[in-house]
Structure 1
Amino acid sequence: MGKPVTFKVYGNGSDYLWDLGDGTMASGPSVTHTYQTPGIYRVVVKSREGNTLRELSSAIVRVHTPETVHLPQVILDTDARNEQDDQHYIAYALFSEVDVLAINSVHHGPHRVNHGGQFQEDINYGEIHFIIMLARNSGLLNHRPENLLPMVFHGARRPLEVPASGRWEDTEPVRSEASEAILAAARGASPDNPVWVLPVGPCTNVASAILQAREEGLDIKNRIKVCWLGGSPEQVHVRSFNGENDPWSVYVVAQSSVEFWIILEWPTGASLRIDKRVESHLYPDNPLGRYLKAIVPEGPKPLFDPTTMAMVIGRHLGKKWLTQLEPVVVLGPDQGYRWKKVETPTNVYLVRGIDAQAMKEDLFNTLNGKPSPLRKR
């Protein structure tokens, strides 16, 4: 905040027009602007073609104070209405001190036709907005001001298709608001504080963003990191609902050289669980807490998805919440999308063990208004 930033556009267009996100408009191939208020801004550059304006590109930027400049930045990516764990993960992120730049919806595959069919992405999108509304009604704005609320984007409605060549580089991305938002956040990030993308459904959105970045020659290797909840002990798409819904997207992310962390759905993510019969007191007595408690079934229930948020928080704090890591490569469909442990340098790490109790305590402390301190005090 208070320091000038310069945006440039590269291309063959003309008559560039800029919306800098805070009500300021500008023109030209390069503009310099000073933000006076901290917050999350979407910067858009357009080109005039006759009497119409065409959006060319965008960047999501976080304008900081000195106390917040090193906060972890995340984009949530969720099939939010598929189960109950997604809602816990969204709430955990919102009430944490992590910078949540955006929340994306995504399909949850062809396997649950009774969960919305072709409209499942729309239903997931609506659930994100519903959780944000409940969070606001539960005091969120006392913790996260209006200009720091995340933007919400529609995601892919279908999985990636394996190209005829079998080469991941030839995959056609499923373009969506969400894939564009991930790219926009990468443009606005700095390599010393990359954006974590946390898919807790299929990896379609983030894989598509990576493919789109390759098309335009944008190197995002040091601008985003990915932590996915999915997979089973041996492979991507067996005993893993998230893996079944787009296994090729997991392969694409793994091949891309982007840093890729995988918290196994079973048994790792499943080890963080709640039993409402004896632990209902853990939920706060507010609209969000009551909703979360209501949608969790009776008996022990794995919560899965919050482990991705806990990983980001734990790593930022230097906590040893990841107890068993394995460097791997991800094999292709001809080899069953299996993990292969390697001793050579890799960009992919399996999380086989976690301190589930520590993660659970941080989750529920955060929901009750006592998040782990991440800001500089």
Structure 2
Amino acid sequence: MSLRQRIFGEVEVEWRFAFGHDMRVMMHPNIRVILLMASSVALALRPTGNPAPAESSRVRVLLDTDTFNEMDDQFFVTYALMEPRFEIEGICATQYRVTEASVDESYYEARRILNLMGMSGRIPLRMGSDTAMPDPQTPRSSPASRFIVERALAKDPRPLHILAVGALTNVASAYLENKKIRDRIRIIWLGGSRWPEGALSEFNAVNDRAAVKCIIEAGLDLTQIPTETCAQQLTTTFAETERRLRHRNAVADYLIDLYRDYGHDQKVIWDMTAVACLLQQTEGKRFFTITDVPAPRVDEATLKYIPNPEGARMKVCTGLDREKIFADFYARFPPTADLDPPYLTLACSRDDPRAVTLTFNEDLDPDSVRSLSGFRLQPDVPVRGVQLVDARTVRLQLAASLDPSTAYTVACSEVRDVAGNPVGPRNTFRFQPQPEMHDGLRATLYAAGSKLTKLPVPELSDRAAVFRGQTLELWLSNSRKSFIEISLKAIFVVILEGNLEVPFKHEYEISCYADDAARIELDGRLLVEADLGAGSVRAASRVHLDKGLHPVRISFLQRGGQYLLNLYWNFPFHEKQRIPWNYFCFAAR
């Protein structure tokens, strides 16, 4: 015992904090209780789920992912990282365009997820090959393929489970570089469209045909999750995702943002199936119907499967339980309570002087908007009826017409959100009727020739419009019904004109997500320009705006193929969201 210990009664202890940091401290016995209390608090802050299992019972896992290709990869990586029984030995980025840079995009997107989850620097991240294998016998060596070999041959009796949710380039290359890994790896691959016939069109398979042939015919421990006959059943909606993940933690909010920017009502979260499949194989969960079959041969040119009764055994997933998988995923996030009150963010009366439209910042409890006594106008105009137009929009029918020369204040007192929170202090809005205005924007659709390849478009007055009229739908997509009824192979231009009604004087961020190109002009000035020449692109700009109407012109160019236009904004009392239709209006000509 040291002199200091004898004098102060201290004892030396080694302390391991719940966050993984080691510290050696000198501690007085009477202070132990304080540190024990601190330890309890730290443990309470750990992610929800089972306590960390003993090292020997954990499952060694390596993720091989084209993380930047679609939004489902980020869900996949998050799901895997949140499983306490998975010992994630590394993440390998794989290509998804067979061109330079796609693997770089996946690498840095995986790093972003690690940063959001506080795991940066703790899990190795390796970059794979930018190009597919030239044939089934020739590997594309890369840091990722060499890392797979290293981890597979590590001095550990446990096998290495590889969850591959993209092209099989890295995995097949690792096997060809060192076939000693054969008995040390277990592969789960999301890919191949239909079983048992195979398909030419499946994305992951097409991106490296030679690798598919190599892995399926190698006699490895392989489980395949076909996309069309299994994985596509794992579909969710944006509304469900936002409701289940909102404010749960930083990565949950990021997943919501990704889904919002993706621009579709619903999406298959393909890649999460690989995590769920491994949970079934190692933890006894029941998510899939899995069939043991002889591995077929593969026609590399067509990616059709050739029956091979004498082939080595492999497993194929032929069905899944969507509800159980999503329930397991969402349960891993820390619980949160919605304590935020709803706010009234806009009131307007357009076109019909006997109606007022109210907009709130979050979804409302339908029962809370039915009472006429819950809404009042000053100067007094009796409310005769109430209609919930959509989850955040209420329309009041009035007993008399509003006077366009008078400013009115509407107040709501009984509204609640879906969590039961009563309306907050911002429950009034002052407005002046605009009977000359119509909701939405004036839309003009032009079929353009091949020479029209970029924005801004030249004068279009000499062109015949395919469509002219009002649109309330500012979310344009080939997967949604709208005024755009035109061949996907066509080049076309949409011009949207009118006004943006700004509810508060403040700084706003206005952004768009476009495929292929878009320009937003506000108050006669260019605000946002989004155009990469091909494919989808995001762009945003911040601007200080006064309350009231601001002239807006939106130009959208489609160069053929799938198209998408989404408009978003951030402002007080709002998280980032699509700009609702009722914030736009235009005057009849």
TM over 0.5: yes
**2:55 matches 1:73:** no
User: Which whole-Å deviations, capped at 9, do the CAs of 1:264-293 have from their partners, x for residues lacking one?
Assistant: 111311111221124422115122111101
2:129 to 141, 156, 161: 156
Deviation at 1:345, TM superposition (A): 6.4
C-alpha change, 1:282 and 1:189, in structure 2 (3 Å) is farther
Q: More helix per residue: 1 or 2?
A: 1
Deviation at 1:330, TM superposition (A): 3.1
Deviation at 1:356, TM superposition (A): 2.3
2:184 maps to which residue?
Answer: 223
- Worse-superposed segment, 86-95 or 352-361: 352-361
C-alpha change, 1:122 and 1:222, in structure 2 (3 Å) is same
1:290 maps to which residue?
Answer: 253
TM-score by length of 2: 0.45
Letter in 1 for 2:245: Y
Question: Does the 8 A contact of 1:107 with 1:156 survive in 2?
Answer: yes
Deviation at 1:357, TM superposition (A): 1.9
1:280 to 220, 242, 249: 242
Deviation at 1:251, TM superposition (A): 1.2
1:103 maps to which residue?
Answer: 91
Q: 2: CA distance between counterparts of 1:249 and 1:265?
A: 17
Q: 1: CA distance between counterparts of 2:156 and 2:267?
A: 38
Q: 1: CA distance between counterparts of 2:274 and 2:155?
A: 20
- Worse-superposed segment, 175-184 or 328-337: 328-337
Structure with higher Rg: it is: 2
**2:144 matches 1:178:** yes
2:200 to 234, 238, 251: 238
Q: 1: CA distance between counterparts of 2:271 and 2:146?
A: 23
C-alpha change, 1:153 and 1:279, in structure 2 (3 Å) is closer
User: Which whole-Å deviations, capped at 9, do the CAs of 1:133-192 have from their partners, x for residues lacking one?
Assistant: 1111xxxx6xxxx88x32000111100012xxxxx4xx221001100111011111545x
Deviation at 1:105, TM superposition (A): 0.5
In structure 2, the residue corresponding to 1:311 is in which secondary structure? helix
In structure 1, the residue corresponding to 2:332 is in which secondary structure? helix
Query: 1 or 2 for the larger relative contact order (CA 8 Å, sep ≥6)?
Result: 1
In structure 1, the residue corresponding to 2:109 is in which secondary structure? helix
1:361 maps to which residue?
Answer: 327
1:124 to 71, 82, 106: 106
Provide structure 2 residue ranges, at least 5 long, that are not aligned to the other structure: 1-19, 21-51, 337-589
1:265 to 211, 227, 247: 227
User: Which whole-Å deviations, capped at 9, do the CAs of 1:323-349 have from their partners, x for residues lacking one?
Assistant: 142513232326733335666562322
C-alpha change, 1:334 and 1:105, in structure 2 (3 Å) is closer
C-alpha change, 1:277 and 1:230, in structure 2 (3 Å) is same
Q: 2: CA distance between counterparts of 1:345 and 1:328?
A: 5
Letter in 2 for 1:77: D
Deviation at 1:368, TM superposition (A): 3.9
Give runs of aligned pairs for residues 1-377 of structure 1, distance below 5 A. 67-97=54-84, 98-110=86-98, 117-136=99-118, 149-162=122-135, 168=136, 171-188=137-154, 190-191=156-157, 193-214=158-179, 219-234=180-195, 235-285=197-247, 286-296=249-259, 297-333=263-299, 336-340=302-306, 346-368=312-334
Q: 2: CA distance between counterparts of 1:189 and 1:284?
A: 42
2:10 maps to which residue?
Answer: none
Question: Does the 8 A contact of 1:109 with 1:159 survive in 2?
Answer: no
Q: 1: CA distance between counterparts of 2:254 and 2:53?
A: 36
Identity of aligned residues (%): 24
In structure 1, the residue corresponding to 2:97 is in which secondary structure? coil
C-alpha change, 1:99 and 1:284, in structure 2 (3 Å) is farther
Q: 2: CA distance between counterparts of 1:293 and 1:368?
A: 16
Q: 2: CA distance between counterparts of 1:205 and 1:259?
A: 16
Question: Does the 8 A contact of 2:219 with 2:313 survive in 1?
Answer: yes
Question: Does the 8 A contact of 2:67 with 2:109 survive in 1?
Answer: yes
C-alpha change, 1:278 and 1:352, in structure 2 (3 Å) is same
Q: 2: CA distance between counterparts of 1:275 and 1:104?
A: 29
Paired residues, what number?
A: 280
Question: Does the 8 A contact of 2:297 with 2:307 survive in 1?
Answer: no
User: Which whole-Å deviations, capped at 9, do the CAs of 1:177-235 have from their partners, x for residues lacking one?
Assistant: 100111011111545x2111111110000000000013xxxx22221011110111145
Deviation at 1:245, TM superposition (A): 0.4
User: Which whole-Å deviations, capped at 9, do the CAs of 1:283-311 have from their partners, x for residues lacking one?
Assistant: 15122111101111441210010110111
In structure 1, the residue corresponding to 2:289 is in which secondary structure? strand
TM-score by length of 1: 0.69
Letter in 1 for 2:270: F
C-alpha change, 1:328 and 1:127, in structure 2 (3 Å) is same
Deviation at 1:365, TM superposition (A): 1.4
RMSD across aligned C-alpha pairs, in angstroms? 2.4
Question: Does the 8 A contact of 2:67 with 2:106 survive in 1?
Answer: yes
In structure 1, the residue corresponding to 2:57 is in which secondary structure? coil
Deviation at 1:322, TM superposition (A): 1.9
Question: Does the 8 A contact of 1:154 with 1:178 survive in 2?
Answer: yes
1:60 maps to which residue?
Answer: none
In structure 1, the residue corresponding to 2:277 is in which secondary structure? helix
- Worse-superposed segment, 268-277 or 299-308: 268-277
Q: More strand per residue: 1 or 2?
A: 2
